[in-house]
Amino acid sequence: MPETETAPPAGHLAGNLAAAPAGSLPAVTPEPAREVAFTFGDPESVIDRREIFDMFEVAHNNRWYEPPVSLAGLGRAYRMAPHHQSAILLKRNLLTASFVPSRWFSMAEFELFALDWLVMGNAYLERADNLAGRPLGLRCSKAAWTRVGLAPGQFFWVPRTGWISDATEYRPGTILHLKEPDPMQEIYGMPEYLSALQSGLLNEAATIFRRRYYLNGSHAGFILYLSDEGMSDASIEAVRKALRGAKGMGNFRNLFIHSPKGKPDGIKLLPIAEVGSKDEFLNIKSVTAEDLLAAHRVPPQLLGIVPKNTGGFGNVNDAAAVFYEMEILPIQRRMLAINEWLGVEAVRFERPAIALAAG
């Protein structure tokens, strides 16, 4: 039977107060301490409780659709980890190395266009026409601040302020939008590395933690226990000042203590900052780097990674040729849609020397 609590009868408390001596309170018997047990929740998958947001698809403000993820956040995450940025720059460099500039599309604009494609999963080109309606050139519209309008072929330039009144609508038919397909919606593209975004952020967090760990001088954390009777107050104060100086800049200093009549156990050093062996820094960096390389599908030897075994990673030329064939060529074929949209051959690629082995 479950335990039940009953209220005391009326007048019980008043009777106790009346029986107590004047100027004193009745003694209250404390309740016995009860054991409290609790458990943490069960592990939850990343898809739990998030399906409701998929029902909204892509929200809009009656003028343009908002991206399903923060494009500005993706831009900031571009530098979150060296393996992430290096993989993107490798693809961009291979694309620009094979790109042949034309009078409609310059190398500088193509570099911006390719970087937007790889970082944001979206890339926009604005066409400038002459008085006769023929194309004069192409200019990259930054994907972080370009939005897709509600009407077909409608696009907006939305500055950092985000105010609707500050937005500028592009002339209809002058914007080409290329995007990475997303299975949940067809308005915006999604970058292909999104599955490894959490690994990249963990890589960054581990590096920041270790950097702050050293800047704060925590690697010198310990308890200095002095029980030597030969240490005077002045000597103890000098030791205290020397230990304060081990924090921050100028750490890794040696400390000299002279006690002629001291005992072997009179001075003890008790380390308390063993984070270096407990935070799994190297394992975190290694595992997250492997996740990023898997998401970008980049051979490690192309990023300058030193192999950990004697066998190495294999021939770098063969790896570059295969990578170009499997990753760069599909992107180039999709970028050729610019020619069909523009009506002239503004985009053309030539296989670079590093990829000739795959031909």
Instruction: Please work out, in degrees rounded to the nearest 5, the angle formed at the alpha carbon of residue 73 by the alpha carbons of 169 and 108.
Output: 60
- The pLDDT assigned to 196 comes to 93
Type of residue at 51:
E
Q: Calculate what percentage of the chain has a pLDDT beyond 90.
A: 45
Cα–Cα distance for residue pair 332/114, rounded to 1 Å: 10
Strand pairing partners for 349?
A: 99
**Quick one: CA torsion of 287, 290, 294, 299, rounded to 10 degrees?**
-170
Q: Does pLDDT of 359 surpass 50?
A: no
State the DSSP H helix or E strand holding residue 155, giving kind and residue range, or none if neither. strand 155-157
Best-predicted range by mean pLDDT among 32-36, 98-102, 248-252, 280-284? 98-102
More confident residue, 158 or 6: 158
Cα–Cα distance for residue pair 75/289, rounded to 1 Å: 19
Cα–Cα distance for residue pair 95/332, rounded to 1 Å: 8
- The pLDDT assigned to 358 comes to 45
3-12, 113-122, 266-275, 283-292: range with lowest mean pLDDT: 3-12
CB 125 within 8 A of CB 338: yes
pLDDT digit string, tens, across residues 289-313: 999 999 999 999 898 888 887 777 8
pTM across the whole model:
0.71
Instruction: Name the pLDDT band for 355 (thresholds 50, 70, 90).
Output: confident
More confident residue, 236 or 335: 335
CB 150 within 8 A of CB 166: no
Q: Calculate what percentage of the chain has a pLDDT beyond 70.
A: 72
Burial class, 333, CB count within 10 angstroms (exposed 0-12 / middle 13-18 / buried 19+): exposed
Average pLDDT over residues 330-339: 96
- The pLDDT assigned to 144 comes to 94
- The pLDDT assigned to 33 comes to 60
Cα–Cα distance for residue pair 104/346, rounded to 1 Å: 6
Average pLDDT across the chain, whole number: 80
Cα–Cα distance for residue pair 172/106, rounded to 1 Å: 23
Side-chain-facing half-sphere of 249: CA atoms under 13 Å: 0
CB 124 within 8 A of CB 140: yes
- The pLDDT assigned to 102 comes to 95
CB 118 within 8 A of CB 94: no
**Given the structure tokens 């030969």, which residue do they identify?**
230
Instruction: Please work out, in degrees rounded to the nearest 5, the angle formed at the alpha carbon of residue 311 by the alpha carbons of 309 and 314.
Output: 120
Instruction: Name the pLDDT band for 56 (thresholds 50, 70, 90).
Output: very low
Q: Does pLDDT of 316 surpass 80?
A: yes
In order, the DSSP letters of 121-152 are SEEEEEEEE-TTS-EEEEEEEPGGGEEEBSST
CB 95 within 8 A of CB 332: yes
pLDDT digit string, tens, across residues 71-89: 999 999 999 999 999 999 9
Q: Does pLDDT of 201 surpass 90?
A: yes
| Alpha-carbon Rg for the chain in angstroms | 33
